[in-house]
Amino acid sequence: MLAQFTAALPHFLAYFGAALALAVVFLLLYSRFTPHREFELIGQGNVAAATQLGGTFLGFAVPMALVIGNAVSIPDMLLWGAVAAVVQLLVFVAISRILFKAISDRIAEGCMASGLFVGSMGLGVGILQAACMVP
C-alpha cells in the first residue's frame, strides 16, 4: 500500500499543481475581463461580487474535476481546462452583453440578485459542460 502511494504521489502533485496554476490564471484573467474588479469589491465586503466570482469559480472547477479524472496527460487536462475557462468567460459575455447590460454595475453596487444570477449561471453551465466532457 505504501509503495502504491509513493508511486502515485508524484502524479497527484503534478496534476494538482497544474490544476491550481490553471485555476489561479483563470481567476486572474476572469477578474481582469469583467468591467468590475471582483477582488477589490470582495475586499470591501461586496457579497454580490463574492457570490458571482464564487459561483463562476465553481462553474470552472466542476468541469476541471471531471477533466482531471479523465485526462490522459497534463497537457490534455490543461487544454480542456482552457475550454472550461473560455466557456465561463462566454457565460459572462452572454449575460452582460445580451441579457442584462448593466449587470456589472449592479454587482459593483452590491446587488445580491445580480451576483447570485451570474454565479448561478456560471455554475449551471459548468455542470452542463462537465457532463459533456466525459467520454
**What amino acid is encoded at 62 in this protein?**
V
> pLDDT band for position 120 (50/70/90)?
very high
Per-residue pLDDT of 12-69, as tens digits, reads 999 999 999 999 999 999 999 999 999 999 999 999 999 999 999 999 999 999 999 8
Q: What distances in angstroms separate CA 10 from CA 1, 6, 99, one per listed residue?
A: 15, 8, 45
Please, are residues 107 and 49 in contact by the beta-carbon 8 Å criterion? yes
Instruction: Domain ranges for the chain, please list them.
Output: 14-133
The residue written with cell numbers 456560471 in the block is 122
pTM of the model: 0.92
